[in-house]
Amino acid sequence: MMNRKLIYLIFFTFCIIYFTVGCRNTEKPQQPPQFFSIQMVDERDGWTLCNDGKVLRTIDGGENWIDVTPDIGKAKKTVLGKFFLTSDIGWVALSEDYQHLTSNSSVTICTTYNGGKNWEKADIPGQYYRAEPCFINEKIGWVELYYNDSLAQQPLDIYHTKDGGKSWAEVSSTGTVANEPDSIPLSPLKEGIYFLNDSRGWVTGQPRANGYTMLYITNDGGRTWNHQDLPIPEEYQHSLITIKAPIFFNDKDGVLPVTFDVDQPQPSIFNVFYHTNDGGMNWLINPPLNIGAPPVYDFVDSKTGWVVDETSSTLYTTIDGGKKWTNYNTDLKGISQIDFVNSKVGWAISNGALYKTVDGGKSFNKVRVSVNC
């Protein structure tokens, strides 16, 4: 009798061990996220958007991430744009996949004030395929909503909120004819939007013709827009000019990234970081940086910045606002974004993986990433 009980005990013990270990072995190992963009607030707190549309948040410098993706139903899973003001406050614009847009489609602007634990939602009707939110504080912001571009034309609408995204009102849209007064032109393609305060902002874009600069400024909160002149060196007068949205560090000092695509005397691409010390009323030119491609860049103040050519592994850094550059070999290929929080600490996304530097970009180490749902 005792032998039979012993046999049963051994048998049941074996079954428990077998099924426990077996189940563990059949679990699929966690796949690291494929990073699309990153926005760190400081050395520990930050946000990222993944290639699969997930919104993640970290509080330990990027090693561990929490999935805080807004849940607004199965249909709206495409992230059109995002903006994060602090480690707790942010906005994410969601819609259907572009192929499934209908006359009843809308963009849902989701707002969080507690690091993604909860999201408030507001809908803006329209068949938009890209969104760029921009906020100057937790209450006042704008969102630039793009329709599909066609033949270098890109209609858009700009909405404004005064209550942190609970409600939105349209303030302007692209003109219907070329050079329509007080309007953003229908063409060319747009690159970005930025507001310095509750009245002054910019919309930038790609070239429409050789020597044309897509730089429009508003001084009434986005209701009317006018072309802003930009000083262009003689040798770049007939180039194709692409202007990215400006970056400001206070109410006076800012940087405006501009790329000149030159045909003569030989095809070359020159990148110039214009600077301002009067709130963007005037932009002053710096010497060009010739890296052969449109740059990936970041600045932490008006003097300290980094530029990388995504086709190479060379990173350039400046401490005088772009007058002089020092270069380092990072051993990273395919860098799609860099994000620094001070002169030493920064992150890079290379082929979907996350890397970190603590020496100002001289060296990068791959981050071992974990995601908690």
Q: 207 or 220, which is more confident?
A: 220
- Please say if the pLDDT value at position 127 is more than 80: yes
| Per-residue pLDDT, 20 | 45
Report the half-sphere exposure of 303 (CA within 13 A, side-chain side). 4
| Per-residue pLDDT, 96 | 80
d(CA 313, CA 163): 44
- Compute the average pLDDT of residues 106-126: 96
| Per-residue pLDDT, 24 | 41
- Please say if the pLDDT value at position 294 is more than 80: no
| Per-residue pLDDT, 110 | 97
d(CA 112, CA 71): 12
Q: What are the pLDDT digits (tens) for 328-373?
A: 888 888 899 999 999 999 999 999 999 999 999 999 999 999 998 6
- Compute the average pLDDT of residues 243-253: 97
| Per-residue pLDDT, 3 | 55
Q: Which two tokens stand for residue 340?
A: 């620094």
Lowest mean pLDDT among 106-120, 158-172, 297-311: 297-311
| Per-residue pLDDT, 88 | 98
Lowest mean pLDDT among 69-73, 259-263, 313-317, 323-327: 69-73
Contacts 24+ apart (CB under 8 A), 245-248: 245/191, 245/192, 245/193, 245/194, 245/202, 245/204, 246/194, 246/202, 246/204, 246/276, 246/280, 247/194, 247/299, 248/194, 248/196, 248/280
- Please say if the pLDDT value at position 167 is more than 90: yes
Percent of the chain, pLDDT > 70?
88
- Please say if the pLDDT value at position 22 is more than 50: no
d(CA 99, CA 181): 34
| Per-residue pLDDT, 356 | 98
Q: How far apart are the first and last CA of the chain?
A: 50
| Per-residue pLDDT, 336 | 92
Percent of the chain, pLDDT > 90?
68
| Per-residue pLDDT, 14 | 45
Closest CA to 247 of 239, 256, 259, 238: 256
| Per-residue pLDDT, 77 | 75
- Compute the average pLDDT of residues 219-240: 94
CA dihedral sign of residues 356, 359, 361, 362: negative
With bands split at pLDDT 50, 70 and 90, how would you rate the model's confidence at 21? Answer: very low
Q: 128 or 10, which is more confident?
A: 128
Task: Answer whether 165's CB lies under 8 Å from 121's CB.
Answer: no
Q: What are the pLDDT digits (tens) for 177-210?
A: 656 788 999 888 899 999 999 999 999 998 878 8
With bands split at pLDDT 50, 70 and 90, how would you rate the model's confidence at 19? Answer: very low
With bands split at pLDDT 50, 70 and 90, how would you rate the model's confidence at 249? Answer: very high
| Per-residue pLDDT, 265 | 73
| Per-residue pLDDT, 27 | 46
d(CA 369, CA 333): 19
**At 218, is the secondary structure helix, strand, or coil?**
strand
Task: Answer whether 190's CB lies under 8 Å from 156's CB.
Answer: yes
